[in-house]
Structure 1
Amino acid sequence: MTEKLIDHRAEGPTSAPPLLLGPSVGTSSALWDKVAPELSVTRRVVRWELPGHGGSAAELIRAGATMADLAELVVRLADSLGIERFAYAGVSIGGAVGMELALRWPERVESLAVICSSAHFGGAGPWEERAARVRREGMGWLLEPTAGRWFAGEFREPGLLADLAATDPGAYAACCDALASFDVRGRLGEIRARTLAIAGREDPATPPAHLREIADAVPRAALVELPGAAHLAPAQCPEAVLGALRAHLGGGASLGMAVRRQVLGDAHVDRAQARQSAFTARFQDFISRYAWGEIWTDPTLTRRERSLVTLTALVAHGHLDELAMHVRAARGNGLSAEEIGAVLLQTAVYCGVPAANAAFAVAQRVLEEETG
């Protein structure tokens, strides 16, 4: 019998680094509609749904549920998708699930973003009362007071309020049970994932002080406060959330930039950066993140060995401008002029004499510039 899983929506290339996005209670994956498509340019984005929300079955959660139960559902979904290690971002209860994941499965959480969330949600009493009333009366009475917590000023997102009205009452109440019992204030120091806390300055449900508490206690954590944002910041302030997440998730790009400078030299990278425009920015990010942040940092091959491979590939495809750059890089990675010549001689056999002839001319010019 096939195991029943929480519903999800996947975007972006399957080969890209995975990013799981968690919702707030009473919402669906539509909460991320203005953010996820942009993140999926460089990430395999998976938006998951709470039980009884969106397309997830209500029976996946029961009265008395805990945050650990919800975290286990997310792990089962990741397993089913073949995702071992992932970045994670979540709003409110989604952020709490992220903290639970980082504490219970630290080897799986590469980085964590906790948005308009908390290490505790004000004690059990109010959540127990809300759960009891929802079980008695359904969801209708929640719409008006929730809109005031979710959004600041006159801003409203009718689709998200419709999602709240359509949520299964029993599943919503069980999520309230999980929020009632959640308190990891004493364990925040155990979180090892690189963490970003994002607070909405107009958020009455989880005020900035709650996010500050997380940022102060979690090692390597940072805090961003968004003016004009209430509890559902990705819906009300998507550009600000997107910018904060891009900077946070750009750890690979930052590492890649450092390696790129080490291999190619500051002068070359500075010229490339100076030529960057809005049109080429994503490509530059792609190069830094994937080529330099993942491939060139893989310890399976040394940088010297990678230079050997790169020189051969560039000759084979006739990329002579790139070849000149990588002849310089090869010298920095420890290859002698004689070894570079031996590589080019090898390409004469397998790539053709004309290709090797052009490559020798380029390499000779670069080596003469170096000795001169």
Structure 2
Amino acid sequence: MTDKLLHHRIEGPATAPPLILGPSLGTSYALWDPVAPELSVTHRVIRWDLPGHGGSAPDLIGPGATVGDLAELVLALADSLGVDRFAYAGVSLGGAVGLHLAVHHPERISSLAVICSSAHFNGSKPWEERAALVRREGPAPVAATADSRWFTAGFTVPRLVQDHRDADPDAYAACCDALAAFDIRDRLASITARTLLIAGRQDPATPPAHLREIADAVPGSALVEIPGASHLAPAQCPKAVLAALRTHLTGAPERGMEVRRQVLGDAHVDRAQARQTPFTARFQDFISRYAWGEIWTDPTLSRRERSMITLTALVAHGHHEELAMHVRAARRNGLTPEEIGAVLLQTAVYCGVPAANSAFAVAQRVLAEEEAAGG
């Protein structure tokens, strides 16, 4: 063993919520190339390489390694970067690392996504045989069958197959040892992190039934199956994986509905929900998921600042009914009547006096109603 860290790559704003991405056996962090740049718009994305894969030193693990050993390396990396609590997503062996972290270090995991992985990998024998083969002949014989195990017929990613060929034999075999010993089925019910399972419908290595088994055991978890995806879903179907991860990481629409109620009030949201029809349901979901679940939850601006911007935009476009609703929201977000008046006065300069005149009338009515109601 050494005190070296896992090789890694960091993308996204330093102040954004951290997200750690784990790879599959035989790949490098290049597995996440089609997905990580998009995720880094809203997160500080940290991708890591398995020992002996990509740029990670092979002597970070040795024979008889466990998934727990890999998890400790991930925690050491997080600690070195000053990351205490993080979202985690991992593929195959990387997903097993995420399950171990969620069970044994729940205080570190804010949310978990397990992709094309399992709580067990079909017993120890096949992994012991693969480890012996790689120690004896190197990774080339196993890499020769990578396409059929990783992708559907006719699809490949040459960079990932080359990563497989370039893996250090001893480190690769030690990762096989870890998979051979891994079985966490009896601990799944203890996972408290918000958990997403993503299965490739055509995955021969960890079929959807393996992900369903986890979903059935982890309280409150969600399962997404991706048609046309095999074992390395982020490489083969990145758009579908990205969509599922975005929804999971933002907590939308659940988080969106929570913020919507906090800003607009239960009474307003309950009325909107009561008026919902099959025709408007998708629009209501869009509002909760996108406007409230992504925009209003972005920590870059405070809710007070967002209220001031929203009031200005509504005045500019003459949306008086929405303006009344957001004057009430501005009061909930801490703006005083004097501050609301100052915002509207500013709109007189940049949006026009007639627009501001109408806005003052709307705001005065709303504030008078609140005062009469004891607000």
Given the alignment, which residue of 293, 316, 319 partners 2:297? 293
**Residues 341 and 360 in structure 1, CA contact (< 8 A), matched pair in contact too:** no
Matched, 1:128 2:128: yes
Per-residue deviation, 1:183 = 0.4
Q: Deviations over 1:58-77 (max 9, x none)?
A: 11111111111000111111
Per-residue deviation, 1:145 = 2.3
Counterparts of 2:15 and 2:363, CA distance in 1: 36
Counterparts of 2:71 and 2:24, CA distance in 1: 14
User: Secondary structure of 2:56's partner?
Assistant: coil
**Residues 150 and 230 in structure 2, CA contact (< 8 A), matched pair in contact too:** yes
User: Secondary structure of 1:195's partner?
Assistant: strand
Counterparts of 2:241 and 2:339, CA distance in 1: 48
- Partner amino acid, structure 1, of 2:363: V
Counterparts of 2:76 and 2:153, CA distance in 1: 39
Per-residue deviation, 1:253 = 5.8
Look up the match of 1:301. none
CA-based RMSD of the aligned residues comes to 3.9
Look up the match of 1:29. 29
1:79–1:363 distance in 2 versus 1, CA, 3 Å: farther
User: Secondary structure of 1:199's partner?
Assistant: strand
1:319–1:223 distance in 2 versus 1, CA, 3 Å: closer
1:286–1:4 distance in 2 versus 1, CA, 3 Å: farther
Look up the match of 1:367. 364
Counterparts of 2:126 and 2:4, CA distance in 1: 31
**Residues 311 and 326 in structure 1, CA contact (< 8 A), matched pair in contact too:** no
1:214–1:345 distance in 2 versus 1, CA, 3 Å: closer
User: Secondary structure of 1:45's partner?
Assistant: strand
- Partner amino acid, structure 1, of 2:163: D
Per-residue deviation, 1:367 = 2.1
Counterparts of 1:318 and 1:137, CA distance in 2: 67
**Residues 344 and 360 in structure 1, CA contact (< 8 A), matched pair in contact too:** no
Look up the match of 2:255. 255
Counterparts of 2:108 and 2:143, CA distance in 1: 36
1:344–1:134 distance in 2 versus 1, CA, 3 Å: closer
Per-residue deviation, 1:195 = 1.1
Q: Deviations over 1:106-160 (max 9, x none)?
A: 0111111111111011111111111112111111111222321111112111111
Counting only pairs closer than 5 Å after superposition, residues 79-158 of structure 1 correspond to structure 2 as 79-158=79-158
Matched, 1:66 2:70: no
Matched, 1:182 2:182: yes
- TM-score for both structures, normalised by structure 2: 0.79
User: Secondary structure of 1:107's partner?
Assistant: helix
Q: Deviations over 1:181-227 (max 9, x none)?
A: 00001011011111111111221111111111101111111111222
Q: Deviations over 1:243-296 (max 9, x none)?
A: 2212222305641343235424559999xxx9xx9xxx9x99786346633659
Counterparts of 1:111 and 1:318, CA distance in 2: 35
Look up the match of 2:372. none
**Residues 19 and 43 in structure 1, CA contact (< 8 A), matched pair in contact too:** yes
Counting only pairs closer than 5 Å after superposition, residues 238-277 of structure 1 correspond to structure 2 as 238-251=238-251, 254-264=254-264, 265=268
Counterparts of 1:165 and 1:366, CA distance in 2: 68
Look up the match of 1:303. none
Counterparts of 2:219 and 2:289, CA distance in 1: 27
1:284–1:55 distance in 2 versus 1, CA, 3 Å: farther
Matched, 1:193 2:193: yes
**Residues 254 and 288 in structure 1, CA contact (< 8 A), matched pair in contact too:** no
1:341–1:201 distance in 2 versus 1, CA, 3 Å: closer
Per-residue deviation, 1:16 = 1.6
Name whichever of 7-16 and 52-61 sits farther off: 7-16
Q: Deviations over 1:68-118 (max 9, x none)?
A: 100011111111112121111111000000001101110111111111111
Look up the match of 1:75. 75
Per-residue deviation, 1:371 = 5.6
User: Secondary structure of 2:107's partner?
Assistant: coil
User: Secondary structure of 2:135's partner?
Assistant: helix
Counterparts of 1:292 and 1:210, CA distance in 2: 36
Per-residue deviation, 1:365 = 3.6
Name whichever of 92-101 and 154-163 sits farther off: 154-163
User: Secondary structure of 1:293's partner?
Assistant: coil
**Residues 63 and 174 in structure 2, CA contact (< 8 A), matched pair in contact too:** yes
Counterparts of 1:319 and 1:370, CA distance in 2: 17
Look up the match of 1:46. 46
1:312–1:32 distance in 2 versus 1, CA, 3 Å: closer
Counterparts of 2:33 and 2:138, CA distance in 1: 27
Look up the match of 1:19. 19
**Residues 198 and 225 in structure 1, CA contact (< 8 A), matched pair in contact too:** yes
Counterparts of 2:190 and 2:21, CA distance in 1: 22
